[in-house]
Amino acid sequence: MGAYDSDIPDIEGLAAAARGELVREIDAEGVWAAEPVWREAFEAVPRHLFVPYYYVAGPGGHERRWGESADPAARERWVLGAYEDVPLATRLRDGRPLSSSSQPSLMARMLVALRVADGDRVLEIGAGTGYNAALLAHRLGDDDLVTTVDVDPEITESARRHLAAAGHRPAVVTGDGARGVPERAPFDRIIATCALPGVPRAWIGQCVAGARILAPVSTGLLAMTVRGGGRAEGRFLPSAAFFVPLRGARRAAVGEVGGVPSRALEDELFQFLMELTQGVLGPAEAYEVWARAGRPGRERYGVTVDETGEWLWLDDREGPWVWPLPV
């Protein structure tokens, strides 16, 4: 590992033990019961190689944990913290995360939900640290089947270095993720690791018929199937998901709250509906729908993209609750 080996001679042993504990923790949740192949990927891919430093929020601001610290105790905190089941901020701007390594258990749920099959060509939107791309490359057994894209050249360059250190060389592309990567298409699977206001049509056009797209939209995970002819449709998964927004994507404030009970404003499921329908429904209108529908969970919402536009619906694409998705 470098100059600090004499201070912590068993850094890899610490990492292996912590990684094993993380895998057991995710395993206990039953996340990959249907696809144990992902357990093997998380056991094999060393997360600490992808986070040579990260930031931990504290009462006095963010603490920077660094694998090259001169303090042996600090290096030990770094390697053990790399295997906690939490998101790790890797870049900050004005005290807010600009890029991060997502929570491992959430990553595991998303990868299982992506339903990757042998031989699939996968596009990842949001390269981050490169850790997710490494998990995909390990699962598929062929680095060339994986493409990851990010708009920030510093992020893509560091992702390449991390991936190479872990023994993987998928295609790492610098570009606008909303446009996909047409030169690497077609894709069988697309997974986004950054929050979006909707699913870009460019992705659908770069997929084969039957492809699956999994993307964080608002605070939910939208799983869509590409039908061909520029059409795709799917529903949200039940669980919540919180990600750093795609650079340049609009994420406006919810808006006015007149006429809405305070208990609803504090309910994350109502906040989910308000964010999805911002600019289309006012808060009072959204509350009326939400109350009449019986506080619907995320899994009751779906999205259809077709020649007429991008549509959000509750329960049924044919109505009565259908709204244009503001993208």
Q: How many structural domains does the chain have?
A: 2
Is 250 part of a structural domain of the chain? Answer: no
Are both 49 and 190 inside the same structural domain?
yes
* DSSP symbols for 89-133: EEEEETTEEEEEEPPHHHHHHHHHHHT--TT--EEEE--TTSHHH
Pairing of strands 88-93, 96-101: antiparallel
pLDDT computed for residue 245 by the predictor: 61
Name residue 151's amino acid.
V
pLDDT computed for residue 254 by the predictor: 46
Are both 121 and 268 inside the same structural domain?
no
pLDDT computed for residue 104 by the predictor: 96
Higher pLDDT, residue 100 or 144: 144
pLDDT digits (tens, 9 = 90+) for 7-57: 544 889 999 999 999 999 999 999 999 899 999 999 999 999 999 999 998
Are both 98 and 230 inside the same structural domain?
yes
Is 251 part of a structural domain of the chain? Answer: no
Peptide bond into 320 cis (omega under 30): yes
Are both 76 and 120 inside the same structural domain?
yes
Are both 60 and 183 inside the same structural domain?
yes
pLDDT digits (tens, 9 = 90+) for 58-81: 888 888 999 999 899 999 999 999
pLDDT computed for residue 1 by the predictor: 43
Is 50 part of a structural domain of the chain? Answer: yes
Contact 151, 157 (CB under 8 A): no
Higher pLDDT, residue 33 or 148: 148
Name residue 74's amino acid.
A
Report the pLDDT averaged over residues 121-146.
Answer: 97
Are both 13 and 83 inside the same structural domain?
yes
Are both 8 and 84 inside the same structural domain?
yes
pTM confidence score? 0.91
pLDDT computed for residue 210 by the predictor: 97
pLDDT computed for residue 36 by the predictor: 94
Identify the domain boundary among 240, 275, 296. 240
Are both 117 and 206 inside the same structural domain?
yes
Is 275 part of a structural domain of the chain? Answer: yes
pLDDT computed for residue 57 by the predictor: 87
* Catalytic residue list contains 102: no
pLDDT computed for residue 257 by the predictor: 66
Which of 6, 69, 99, 262 is catalytic? The answer is: 99
Q: Find the domain containing 297 and state its range.
A: 262-324
pLDDT computed for residue 244 by the predictor: 65
Q: Which range (89-103, 134-148, 165-179) has the least confidence?
A: 89-103
Is 257 part of a structural domain of the chain? Answer: no
Q: How far apart are CA 107 and CA 299, in angstroms?
A: 19
Are both 287 and 227 inside the same structural domain?
no
Residue 4 has pLDDT above 90, yes or no: no
Are both 218 and 277 inside the same structural domain?
no
Residue 294 has pLDDT above 70, yes or no: yes
Is 109 part of a structural domain of the chain? Answer: yes
Q: What secondary structure, in 3-state letters, does the chain show?
A: CCHHHHCCCCHHHHHHHHHHHHHHHHHHCCCCCCCCHHHHHHHHCCHHHHCCEEEEEECCEEEEEECCCCCHHHHHHHHHHCCCCCCEEEEEECCEEEEEECCHHHHHHHHHHHCCCCCCCEEEECCCCCHHHHHHHHHHCCHHHEEEEECCHHHHHHHHHHHHHCCCCCEEEECCHHHCCHHHCCEEEEEECCEECCCCHHHHHCEEEEEEEEEEECCEEEEEEEEECCEEEEEEEEEECCCCECCCCCCCCCCCCCCCCHHHHCCHHHHHHHHHCCCCCCHHHHHHHHHHCCCCCHHHEEEEEECCEEEEEECCCCCCCEEECCC
pLDDT digits (tens, 9 = 90+) for 260-286: 999 999 999 999 999 999 889 999 999
Is 182 part of a structural domain of the chain? Answer: yes
> What CATH number is attached to the domain comprising 125?
3.40.50.150
Contact 15, 165 (CB under 8 A): no
pLDDT digits (tens, 9 = 90+) for 204-238: 999 999 999 999 998 999 999 999 889 999 999 99
Is 204 part of a structural domain of the chain? Answer: yes
Are both 154 and 19 inside the same structural domain?
yes
Are both 160 and 273 inside the same structural domain?
no
pLDDT computed for residue 253 by the predictor: 46
pLDDT computed for residue 10 by the predictor: 83
Q: How far apart are CA 123 and CA 181, in angstroms?
A: 8
